[in-house]
Amino acid sequence: MRSATSSIPTQQQATGGAGATKKKMNGYVGFSNFPNQEHRRSVKRGFNFTLMVVGESGLGKSTLVNTLFESKVYPAKEADDGLGLGGSAARNGSGTAEAQKRTVEITSVSADIQENGVKLRLSVVDTPGFGDSINNENAWRPILENIESRFDAYLAQENRVNRSKIVDNRVNALLYFIKPTGHSLRAVDIEFMKQLHTRVNLIPVIAKSDTLTPREVEQFKARVLADINYHGIHIFKPVSDQYDDPETIADNKAIAAKIPFAVVGSEKLVQRPDGARVRGRQYPWGTIEVENETHNDFVSLRQMLLRTHMEELRDETDVSLYESYRTQKLLALGHVQDNGVFREFNPRMQQEEEERLHAAKMTKLEAEMSAVFRQKVQEKEEKLKKSEEELYSRHKHMKAGMEKQRRDLEDKKAAVAPPGPLPTHSAVHLDGAPRMPSKDKKKRGFF
């Protein structure tokens, strides 16, 4: 047994709370062998990889998948009628109905593949008939719902009490097949990628690139990338970091420069003029070799997808895409993360924190009560002011009415009063004769 000493102290020190200090070891410990342990465990358990292919019928999706994995992942189909429909649909004359039915269908094929002792559980999700309908406005919706349903299923498994057997069927990569029109992206292409680029690793692929000349392929690639950048669509690209060697950095740059990949797929072997048999397509004017980098970008696509960046695709799905969806989902359900549970427990600090929270709560309650009191006082003042205005208005109205009555009475009094003053020393009898003074009357009475 190897023994070694180390200068690592028994108690971990912190540098200003930012993290542990770096220590230099004086001997061999052995934890540098951890990657080898991970390698053995990975080989023992195997890998899961879920690939989704999306594109119109007849663009060679099944052929490309079979070519990528050098196996019959997809079973042989019936003879095609040249329009992207199956032979049975062409024979019974129900091509339109069959195409309409295939647009909403999402199928999944799984296969166990083994290479050099490494087991791979491959799942390929196909969307036959995508974009074949007359109205493709919401053609992306069933695919997005399928991807999110896989996220929901994984989230439900994470929340179970027993998580020993979690099945991961999340989509790790999506190959989007672009029709080789030679012009630019169509509206259905742009809308699809805009809706799904935050849920899956998008890898654009120009299907059947042998229908275009090399110059047309380069021009078409430039237009596709211009549309992707203009609409802010995020696609998967190989990136390098400080731990990569110069050769890896150069390979990543070379692969990134070929996106979108212009590919050709073929399951048949053709013979070259030198007698060698290779995968390709035979035409009257020549032979297209699938694995010839001067003919198409199939080798670069396979290099990125399977040989160099498969784990990065899985990691990007788990760490970035799924975590973003999970956070949005839990926040929408009302879950709020308490960051206090991740801190070390200190009774004194906890007591101070509770006192601070209590003081803040009391201050908030006091402010709320003060605000309510001020509001009540303001409402009472407004009510009293309104009552005062109503009383003043009534008083003014009554005063005006009484003043009008007084004037009316004065007018009536002036109308009934005589024009001159009344006599004081003479009076008139009832028969019209003037009355005599009282003195004369007394005298006449006694005599």
pLDDT, greater one: 204 or 70: 204
Helix H or strand E segment including 52: strand 47-54
**Taking 80 as the threshold, does the pLDDT of residue 368 lie above it?**
yes
Residue with tokens 């009008």: 404
Backbone torsions φ then ψ of 385, nearest 5 degrees: -65, -40
pLDDT, greater one: 287 or 99: 287
Strand order in the sheet with 277-283: 269-271, 277-283, 286-289
pLDDT at 31: 79
Taking alpha carbons only, the member of 291, 311, 314, 295 closest to residue 68 is 291
Q: Model pTM?
A: 0.66
- The tally of CA atoms less than 13 A away on the side-chain side of residue 379 is 6
The pLDDT > 90 percentage for the chain reads 36
The two structure tokens encoding residue 139:
């053609």
Residue 249: partners with Cβ closer than 8 Å, 6 or more residues away: 240
Residue with tokens 């491959």: 122
Contact 277, 271 (CB under 8 A): yes
Tell me what the pLDDT averaged over the chain comes to.
80
* Secondary-structure breakdown of the chain: helix, strand, coil percentages, each rounded to the nearest 5: 50, 15, 40
Taking alpha carbons only, the member of 76, 24, 44 closest to residue 268 is 76
The two structure tokens encoding residue 302:
């396979």
The two structure tokens encoding residue 68:
């990528």
Least-confidence region, from 131-140, 153-162, 394-403: 131-140
pLDDT at 37: 84
| Residue ranges of E strands in 284-424 | 286-289
For residues 8-19, give the mean pLDDT: 44
Least-confidence region, from 41-45, 59-63, 261-265, 431-435: 431-435
pLDDT at 380: 92
The two structure tokens encoding residue 75:
């079973």
